[in-house]
Structure 1
Amino acid sequence: MGTILERKRKDGSTGYHAQVVVKKAGVTHRETRTFDRRPAARAWIEKRQKELAQPGALAAAKIEDPTLAEVIDRYVGDSRRPLGRTKAQVLKAIKGYDIAGKSCSAISSAEVVAFASELSAGRQPQTVSNYLAHLGSVFAIARPAWGYPLNSTVMDDALKVARRLGLTAKSRARDRRPTLTELDQLMRHFGDVRKRRPSSLPMQHVIAFAIFSTRRQEEITRLTWLDLDGSSGRILVRDMKNPGQKIGNDVWCELPAEALAIVRALPQVETRIFPYSTDAISAAFTRACALLGIDDLHFHDLRHEGVSRLFEMGRTVPLAALVSGHRSWQSLQRYTHVRLVGDKYAKWPWFEVVAQPEAHPSH
């Protein structure tokens, strides 16, 4: 059985998704390819139906040359190492594009470049780079692991072309830091919210801890009381972000005195120190910034502020890395060119607020 679905692409053109479905001995085999013209789609369907009707053709097609979507599914299913949330979302999103319906052997570097061009509509080059990087993980193992005709050199060539065409680019390092005035606005706002709704997130504590501990948002929400070593002032940060491996990358990090004081002020009511979701924290922070008119401030900028503070206080790169958890000291080099000297948080009035023991709010 063959069907053709007409779909509008993001660039306004029309794509014809041709699908062949063959059922035999309880096994269903599907193949999908996209064409720019309906007659070409119909001709491919007729050709594939005849080819798959030959003895042994169905088994060979299923095993040797699956679609990219099928390879992505196998990659996700066979991976013993849990995928990060972002990678899982990106791979799922890729399956909705034309390239996912193509068989491995039909995917050339030109196809990948065309995919990158399609992604670039409404996306920054840095985001397109992330999509191709995650897809590249699938390309890297498809042939050596399963024998599929998906060549990793195709991706390598496509990346070079995409870079030269400006479709991809390295992520730019942000240097946005919150001012004390902006932090004062945020802390006052969340204090008022907490007074009106005692069961709301303790965002004052979350913000202050993010700065003093230099922890990322998702790391904050994973910290547990069992992983806290208060006597040594350290905490085990599990699954710390790392270019090579995130899942299982557990790192002991120093907790500066201010960060440790904030933790000790919190009620121990659950396994996690901050038992909240990253989505809830992100939404609260983003809404507050919009309400207060604070422009272009991200929650992750609090980590940048915290690391910069360490250098302003005179810490060397190795000593700053003990707090931030950076594995590569080179990654910290951009923080060393600080203009201020000293600790601008030495007399920060909000520290006294977040260091006061807090009772568990009733719901």
Structure 2
Amino acid sequence: MATIRKLRGRWQAQVRRRGMKPRAKSFDSKLEAEKWARDLEAQVDRFGSAPDTKILESTTLGDLLERYQREVSPTKRGAVQEVQRIDVLRRHELAYRTMIGLSQQDIASFRDERLRLVAPSTAVRELAILSHVVEVSIRDWGLPLAKNVVKLVRRPIIQNERSRRLTGDEEQRLLDGCDSGKIPYFRTLLIVAIETGMRRGEILGLRWSDISHNRRVVSLTMTKNGTNRDVPLSQRAFGALMDWRARADVDQSTIFPMTAGGLEQAWYRLLKRVDINGLRFHDLRHEGVSRLFERGLNVIEVSSISGHKEMRTLRRYTHLSADDLVARLG
């Protein structure tokens, strides 16, 4: 049983248990002292000993973010974006909180504050980073935390599902607009995107050696979820690639030698040229995946092509044409 007493104007909690060194700590209020003692006794009951929490009193969340940014982030494919997000987190006042005092309420307050400034998807990504930082600190760095408080906080609901697909003659206008542009392979790039539903990064990372001409298949090794997969090429996509190959410098490192930023700029210039509004490049992935379903492929077959691991996520991409579904129903 813990001993709580008033000593020199403060409340001191002392915990004595067989097999552990006596622990004592002073607080401004009796309630804080009792809570600390209860938590310490609970850890002893659960683990048989109580960790030395001095390191938690001197370690801030910012310290952990800095170490994570230095040691863990560089190992990820999205390292650049994650480093930028961690820079934002390290400038927030939450980063100055010591780990002994970091609470579930602190994280909830951070979430609510960020939701007033950024989109829910951004807040979710930031919370995911914080959660993984704490998890790595516990599992790999030996930080004596009893729990990951970030996991206890409810994540914001993301309601930004898009249903934008190509309508009318938009596809033809886009392709015709490529002919008047300055990028000779942009038409081929769009056809590949529409026909395969591949992600932007996967398309930009394509090499000629990734294409099996006999099988008419593209082998992807650098995917968003880290899993290799083979993507079958329609005759249209394969023909467009072979046409570009006949004119391209096959010694270049990638089939489409441009950066993600360059693609976005070229895309918005194209939209302006052909007078199309409200269409994102990523919508071509929606279009491609939806067309796979409309061709009669089932969920498993489509997921093997698109690379979606969760059927719930795949469902968001399949905005099927009602007219086509009526035709299939007879």
SS of the aligned residue for 1:235 comes to strand
> Are 1:228 and 2:215 counterparts?
no
Which residue pairs with 1:67 in the alignment? Answer: 60
Q: Note the 1:1-363 alignment, pairs <5 A.
A: 65-79=58-72, 81-84=75-78, 85-148=80-143, 152-157=147-152, 159-160=153-154, 163=155, 168-194=156-182, 200=183, 202-242=185-225, 246=226, 249-266=227-244, 267=248, 268-290=250-272, 292-333=274-315, 335=318, 337-341=320-324
CA displacement 1:81-121 (0-9 Å, x = unmatched): 32524333322221121112222223212221222223223
Structure-2 change in CA distance of 1:292 and 1:69 (3 Å): farther
Structure-2 change in CA distance of 1:304 and 1:127 (3 Å): same
Once residues 309 and 149 of structure 2 are traced to their aligned partners in structure 1, the CA distance between those partners, rounded to angstroms, is 31
Q: TM-score if structure 1 supplies the norm length? A: 0.65
Counterpart AA for 2:229: V
Tell me by how many angstroms 1:151 deviates. 5.8
Once residues 158 and 107 of structure 2 are traced to their aligned partners in structure 1, the CA distance between those partners, rounded to angstroms, is 18
CA contact (8 A) 2:217 2:232 kept: yes
Once residues 308 and 185 of structure 2 are traced to their aligned partners in structure 1, the CA distance between those partners, rounded to angstroms, is 27
CA contact (8 A) 1:236 1:251 kept: yes
Q: TM-score if structure 2 supplies the norm length? A: 0.71
Once residues 265 and 177 of structure 2 are traced to their aligned partners in structure 1, the CA distance between those partners, rounded to angstroms, is 14
Structure-2 change in CA distance of 1:322 and 1:153 (3 Å): closer
Which ranges of structure 1 fall in alignment gaps of 5 or more residues?
Answer: 1-59, 195-199, 343-363
SS of the aligned residue for 1:104 comes to coil
Tell me by how many angstroms 1:152 deviates. 4.5
Once residues 131 and 160 of structure 2 are traced to their aligned partners in structure 1, the CA distance between those partners, rounded to angstroms, is 21
Once residues 238 and 180 of structure 1 are traced to their aligned partners in structure 2, the CA distance between those partners, rounded to angstroms, is 35
CA contact (8 A) 1:214 1:302 kept: yes
Structure-2 change in CA distance of 1:130 and 1:291 (3 Å): farther
CA contact (8 A) 1:66 1:148 kept: no
Once residues 263 and 152 of structure 1 are traced to their aligned partners in structure 2, the CA distance between those partners, rounded to angstroms, is 52
**How big is the alpha-carbon RMSD for the aligned residues of Structure 1 and Structure 2?**
2.7
Once residues 113 and 332 of structure 1 are traced to their aligned partners in structure 2, the CA distance between those partners, rounded to angstroms, is 30
Once residues 187 and 336 of structure 1 are traced to their aligned partners in structure 2, the CA distance between those partners, rounded to angstroms, is 22
Once residues 306 and 77 of structure 1 are traced to their aligned partners in structure 2, the CA distance between those partners, rounded to angstroms, is 38
**How many residues align structurally?**
266
Structure-2 change in CA distance of 1:284 and 1:231 (3 Å): same
Which residue pairs with 2:38 in the alignment? Answer: none
Once residues 310 and 112 of structure 2 are traced to their aligned partners in structure 1, the CA distance between those partners, rounded to angstroms, is 33
CA contact (8 A) 2:229 2:304 kept: no
Structure-2 change in CA distance of 1:64 and 1:83 (3 Å): farther
Tell me by how many angstroms 1:337 deviates. 4.8
CA displacement 1:13-59 (0-9 Å, x = unmatched): xxxxxxxxxxxxxxxxxxxxxxxxxxxxxxxxxxxxxxxxxxxxxxx
CA contact (8 A) 1:139 1:151 kept: no
Once residues 189 and 98 of structure 1 are traced to their aligned partners in structure 2, the CA distance between those partners, rounded to angstroms, is 48
Structure-2 change in CA distance of 1:151 and 1:187 (3 Å): farther
CA displacement 1:109-162 (0-9 Å, x = unmatched): 2221222223223322222112111221112121232233556531122x22xx
Structure-2 change in CA distance of 1:63 and 1:127 (3 Å): closer
Once residues 104 and 68 of structure 1 are traced to their aligned partners in structure 2, the CA distance between those partners, rounded to angstroms, is 6
CA displacement 1:238-269 (0-9 Å, x = unmatched): 23223xxx3xx222222222222222122224
- Give structure 1 regions of 4+ aligned residues with deviation exceeding 3 angstroms: 60-65, 149-153, 290-293, 327-334
Tell me by how many angstroms 1:278 deviates. 0.9
Structure-2 change in CA distance of 1:336 and 1:217 (3 Å): closer
Once residues 237 and 67 of structure 1 are traced to their aligned partners in structure 2, the CA distance between those partners, rounded to angstroms, is 41
Which residue pairs with 2:23 in the alignment? Answer: none
CA contact (8 A) 1:211 1:306 kept: yes
Structure-2 change in CA distance of 1:173 and 1:336 (3 Å): closer
Which residue pairs with 1:45 in the alignment? Answer: none
Tell me by how many angstroms 1:294 deviates. 2.5
CA contact (8 A) 2:62 2:95 kept: yes
Once residues 57 and 218 of structure 2 are traced to their aligned partners in structure 1, the CA distance between those partners, rounded to angstroms, is 48
**Higher Cα Rg: structure 1 or 2?**
2
Once residues 178 and 320 of structure 2 are traced to their aligned partners in structure 1, the CA distance between those partners, rounded to angstroms, is 32
CA contact (8 A) 1:216 1:300 kept: yes
